[in-house]
Structures are given as structure tokens and as C-alpha cells.
């Protein structure tokens, strides 16, 4: 490992300039105008996999954006790791709030700013570099490795389930490794063992059959924007609980042990509120902030629109109002079931003055991953070596829907080894990756591959 580690140390500049190149491709999966960039980004990753010595590199087309695959299977008897990540990124708007252009990665202080720096191109690249360092210096990896890097994570991984089903044999492995989450805080590495699920809905409310003059008609018609606002406001009660009947029915109760463990983590509501610029926090009564973030379900209005939002004033009583609403889910809630409950409730509370249309945009199941596994033991040891600190165990509020599908379809557990930070502005302007975590991540990844066979007690069949 010494040679590997000193190689990593002496190639930092090179890594940074390569990552800058990867981050310059605007691979925004949700926008049609970036379709070509999605292809270009998949190709860049495939070429890079080839360059670091991966075998059988393939770009698989899907009905959406392509999946990039590669493997290195020259370690007979050693465990096989399936590395998953995503090369797609979220849109950059509002663009004017970025300090430097989102696709021109820029170093400021100890951070690298760009869309995708943390979520998730930077974290994918961490593993590519550790593999390169091992291949260059040892001529081999200590484990077998398969990689799938997809292009639709940020839009719900719609075509990935079918891809995994179809390529079960190709993807066969002993465990999944994902770096698409965060450390607990700066200098505090962590192992994540829980993610929330998601049910994402869109509502369309129609009032009159056309936009109306608000003077001539105001007072006779229920404004759909007002009706929608009233409906959305009623989705929480005064205790911050979601009012949809049955919403909490399948929620797994937090164990005493887990609550006690969360309480031990360093966390200050005051500091958290200050960092986010709010005077007070909000959420379900009876639970701490970490409990609400990690282990309780929530409902958020992601966007609401309708009527006139252009320059100046226009006196109009709009015909339509819309909202996007997502619910974060926890075990044992099921995305499809919650989507149905939502639809039923929203239709029930819609006043007779409007007609309503509800659509499910996408969903994903919540995940809890085991922490008493050789994969996690190896990750703990690797983090200790890579960051010089013992990691702590945490859950996260975000979602990576494929985690549960890997378990269902391939029968394997995931190790969530995040190198991001909770305040890295993922999905918002000025996203960044902390460079200490970038280099620490590369060291940790190398250690992980090196440690895994030592912890892997079960004999592994040749794959």
C-alpha cells in the first residue's frame, strides 16, 4: 500500500485537473437540451475506465440515459465488489446565485466548486483514481470489481431496475459499494446505514375554463391558486404531523437504542438553525432534529405555481394552479402505497369549486443496511486509515432508490461510504467538494479494496 499511497500523494494535481474536465460536461439528466452531453459524459467515463485498466468497458443504452459498465475480475477466490454511482447531475438554476460558473470547476479555499462535484461525479471519480493507483503500482486489485455508473439517478432511476433484472448474471457480486452520501461533518467520517424513500407527486388544479379578469370575476369564483394553497396548508397539523390518513401506519418505531445513539452525536439545533439562516427550526413534535431528518417521514411542497409571475402587475384570476409535492419515507412505508393514500386524500379535500388531477412522478423505497457485515468492517478500517479517525454510524434523509433494488434483485447488501459533506450545497447553487475529502476518499477507497479480503470470511465462488 505504501507505493499506492505515495502515488496518490504525488498525483493530486493531475487528479484535480481530470476531475475538472469531467465536471465541465453539463450532464443534466432532466433537461432534453443536454441529451448530447449525457452521451458525452458516459463516453468520458467509459474512456477513463479503459484508461485506468478496467476490462470489458461497455456503454449500455437504455430507454433513457446510458449505463456505463466495466469490470476487473482477475482476483480468483477474492470477493467481488459492485461499485455503483451516477454521472447525471441536477439542473443549475438559479444560475445567478453561483459564484463561479457551475460547469467550470473552480478551487476556492479548500473546496472545488461545480455542479456534480459532490453529487456524484466527484465521489465516483474518487474510486476511479484509487483503482488507477492500485493498477499502476501493484498491477492488480486485491478484489474483483464491477462498476455501473448510471445517468438517471437524479430523475428517479426509471430504467435501472429493468437493466439490473436483465443483467443479473453480469452484475453478480458479493456486495455493493456506493459513495453518494455525506460524512457526518468535516473531519468526522461516517458509515451511513439508512436512507429515506420517496414518493413524488404532481397536482394540477383547474378552476374556470380560462383565465379571467380579476375585477370582473373576482368574488364569484374560487381562485385555484387559493384553493391549492388551502389544501397544501392543511397537509400538516399544528404539531408538524402530516394529516394524510394512514400516512404513519407502517412507520417503524425508533428503538430506544437508536434514539440513545443519535443523542450521543454532536449536534446543536442552534448552530444548525444559524447555518441555514432561520430563526427557529420546524418539524414533527416529539422528535429531535436528527430523528426527524433520518427516521421520520415528511411531506414537502417542492414548488407551487399558477397565475401571473411575470414583470409588473397583471390583474388575473387564473384558470390553473400546480404543485409538486414529495414525501420522504422511512421503513416500513412503501412508496406506491403512500402515493395512493396521498391521491385519495388530496381528491377528498379538493373543494367542489375546482377539478383536480394527481400524478405520481416517481418513487423509491427506504433502506436500512446491515452494519455487522464484513463490508462495513472493511469500510470502518479503511476510513480509520484514510482519515485517521474512527467513523460514526448515521442515517441520512436523502434517497438512493437502487439500494433496495440491489437487495431485491441481486440479493446483496450495500455499503454506503459517503465522502460528501452535509453543507456542500448538493442540488443548489455553489455545490462543492471538500478537497481534503477528495484525497482522503481516494486513500480510503484504496484501503477499502485492500482491507475487504481480510474481513471476508465467507469463501467466495469464482465469478
Q: Which residues are catalytic?
A: 88, 153
Q: Is 297 in the site for ligand BES (CB under 6 A)?
A: no
Per DSSP, the three-state class of 96 is: helix
Q: Which is nearer to Zn ion, 132 or 152 (CB)?
A: 152
Rounded Cα distance between 293 and 427, Å, is 17
**Residues 449 and 147: beta-carbon distance below 8 Å:** no
CB-nearest residue to ligand BES: 398
Q: Which is nearer to ligand BES, 156 or 189 (CB)?
A: 156
Angle at 29 between CA 26 and CA 33, to 5 degrees: 65
Minimum CB separation of residue 402 from Zn ion in Å reads 13
**Residues 416 and 214: beta-carbon distance below 8 Å:** no
Residue 434 interacts, among Zn ion, ligand BES, none and using kind-specific CB cut-offs from 5 to 8 Å, with none
Of the candidate residues 396, 424, 431, 451, the single one contacting ligand BES (CB under 6 A): 396
**Residues 122 and 438: beta-carbon distance below 8 Å:** yes
Half-sphere exposure of residue 388: CA atoms within 13 angstroms, side-chain side: 6
By rule CB under 6 A, what count of residues binds ligand BES? 17
**Residues 22 and 47: beta-carbon distance below 8 Å:** no
Q: Which is nearer to ligand BES, 196 or 241 (CB)?
A: 196
Minimum CB separation of residue 401 from ligand BES in Å reads 5
DSSP secondary structure code for residue 30 in this structure: T
Q: List Cβ neighbours of 2 (8 Å cut-off, separation of 6 or more).
A: none
What would the x/- binding string for ligand BES be over residues 401 to 420, using CB under 6 A? x-------------------
Query: Distance between terminal CA atoms of the chain?
Result: 25
Rounded Cα distance between 192 and 301, Å, is 26
Nearest to 421 by CA among 440, 404, 448: 440
Question: How many CB atoms lie under 10 A from the CB of residue 46?
Answer: 19
What would the x/- binding string for ligand BES be over residues 82 to 121, using CB under 6 A? -------------------------------------xx-
> Which cell numbers in the block locate residue 195?
436512507
Q: Is 119 in the site for Zn ion (CB under 5 A)?
A: yes
Residues 155-184 that bind ligand BES (CB under 6 A): 156, 180-182
Q: Which is nearer to ligand BES, 364 or 440 (CB)?
A: 364
**Residues 212 and 316: beta-carbon distance below 8 Å:** yes
Of the candidate residues 71, 153, 291, 451, the single one contacting ligand BES (CB under 6 A): 153
Residue 400 interacts, among ligand BES, Zn ion, none and using kind-specific CB cut-offs from 5 to 8 Å, with ligand BES
Q: Is 431 in the site for Zn ion (CB under 5 A)?
A: no
Residue 156 interacts, among Zn ion, ligand BES, none and using kind-specific CB cut-offs from 5 to 8 Å, with ligand BES
The residue assigned the cell 459499494 is 177
CA trace torsion 401, 175, 384, 19 (10° rounding): -60
Stretch that binds ligand BES, among 218-226, 238-246, 282-290, 394-402 (CB under 6 A): 394-402
Angle at 208 between CA 204 and CA 212, to 5 degrees: 115
Minimum CB separation of residue 460 from Zn ion in Å reads 32
Stretch that binds ligand BES, among 51-59, 214-222, 227-235, 396-404 (CB under 6 A): 396-404
Q: Which is nearer to ligand BES, 149 or 350 (CB)?
A: 149
Rounded Cα distance between 181 and 446, Å, is 18
Residue 364 interacts, among Zn ion, ligand BES, none and using kind-specific CB cut-offs from 5 to 8 Å, with ligand BES
Residues lying near Zn ion in the complex (CB under 5 A): 119
Residues lying near ligand BES in the complex (CB under 6 A): 119-120, 153-154, 156, 180-182, 195, 198, 362, 364, 396, 398-401
Amino acid at each position: 500500500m505504501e507505493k499506492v499511497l505515495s502515488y496518490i500523494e504525488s498525483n493530486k494535481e493531475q487528479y484535480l485537473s481530470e476531475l475538472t474536465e469531467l465536471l465541465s460536461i453539463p450532464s443534466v439528466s432532466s433537461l432534453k437540451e443536454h441529451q448530447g452531453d449525457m452521451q458525452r459524459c458516459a463516453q468520458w467515463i467509459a474512456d477513463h475506465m479503459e484508461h485506468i485498466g478496467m476490462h470489458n468497458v461497455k456503454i449500455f443504452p437504455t430507454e433513457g440515459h446510458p449505463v456505463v459498465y466495466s469490470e476487473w475480475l482477475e482476483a480468483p477466490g477474492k470477493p467481488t465488489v459492485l461499485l455503483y454511482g451516477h454521472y447525471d447531475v441536477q439542473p443549475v438554476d438559479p444560475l445567478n446565485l453561483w459564484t463561479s460558473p457551475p460547469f467550470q470547476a473552480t478551487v476556492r479555499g479548500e473546496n472545488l466548486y461545480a455542479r456534480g462535484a459532490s453529487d456524484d461525479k466527484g465521489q465516483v471519480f474518487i474510486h476511479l483514481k484509487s483503482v488507477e493507483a492500485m493498477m499502476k503500482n501493484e498491477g492488480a486489485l486485491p478484489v474483483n470489481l464491477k462498476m455501473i455508473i448510471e445517468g438517471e439517478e437524479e430523475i428517479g432511476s426509471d430504467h435501472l431496475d429493468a437493466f439490473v433484472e436483465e443483467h443479473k448474471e453480469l452484475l453478480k457480486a458479493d456486495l455493493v459499494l456506493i459513495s453518494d452520501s455525506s460524512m457526518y461533518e468535516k473531519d468526522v467520517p461516517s458509515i451511513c446505514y439508512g436512507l429515506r424513500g420517496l414518493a413524488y407527486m404532481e397536482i394540477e388544479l383547474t378552476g374556470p375554463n380560462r383565465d379571467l379578469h380579476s375585477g370582473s370575476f373576482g368574488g364569484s369564483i374560487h381562485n385555484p391558486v387559493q384553493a391549492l394553497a388551502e389544501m397544501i396548508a392543511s397537509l400538516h397539523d399544528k404539531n408538524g404531523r402530516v394529516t394524510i390518513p394512514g400516512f404513519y401506519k407502517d412507520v417503524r418505531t425508533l428503538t430506544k437504542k437508536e434514539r440513545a445513539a443519535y443523542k450521543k452525536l454532536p449536534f446543536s439545533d442552534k448552530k444548525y438553525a444559524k447555518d441555514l439562516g432561520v430563526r427557529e427550526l420546524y418539524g414533527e413534535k416529539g422528535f429531535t432534529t436528527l430523528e426527524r431528518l433520518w427516521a421520520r417521514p415528511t411531506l414537502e411542497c417542492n414548488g407551487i405555481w399558477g397565475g401571473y409571475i411575470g414583470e409588473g402587475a397583471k390583474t388575473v384570476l387564473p384558470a390553473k394552479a400546480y404543485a409538486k409535492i414529495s414525501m420522504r419515507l422511512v421503513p416500513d412505508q412503501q412508496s406506491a402505497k403512500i402515493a395512493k393514500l396521498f391521491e385519495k386524500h388530496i381528491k377528498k379535500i379538493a373543494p367542489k369549486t375546482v377539478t383536480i388531477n394527481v400524478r405520481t412522478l416517481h418513487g423509491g423505497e427506504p433502506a436500512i443496511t446491515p452494519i455487522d457485515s464484513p463490508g462495513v468492517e472493511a469500510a470502518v478500517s479503511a476510513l480509520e486509515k484514510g482519515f485517521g479517525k474512527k467513523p460514526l454510524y448515521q442515517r441520512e434523509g436523502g434517497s438512493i432508490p437502487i439500494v433496495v433494488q440491489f437487495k431485491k434483485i441481486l440479493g446483496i447488501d450495500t455499503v454506503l461510504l459517503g465522502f460528501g459533506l452535509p453543507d456542500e450545497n448538493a442540488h443548489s447553487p455553489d455545490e462543492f467538494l471538500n478537497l481534503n475529502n477528495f484525497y482522503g476518499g481516494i486513500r480510503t477507497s484504496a484501503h477499502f479494496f485492500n482491507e475487504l479480503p481480510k474481513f471476508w470470511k465467507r469463501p467466495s465462488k469464482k465469478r
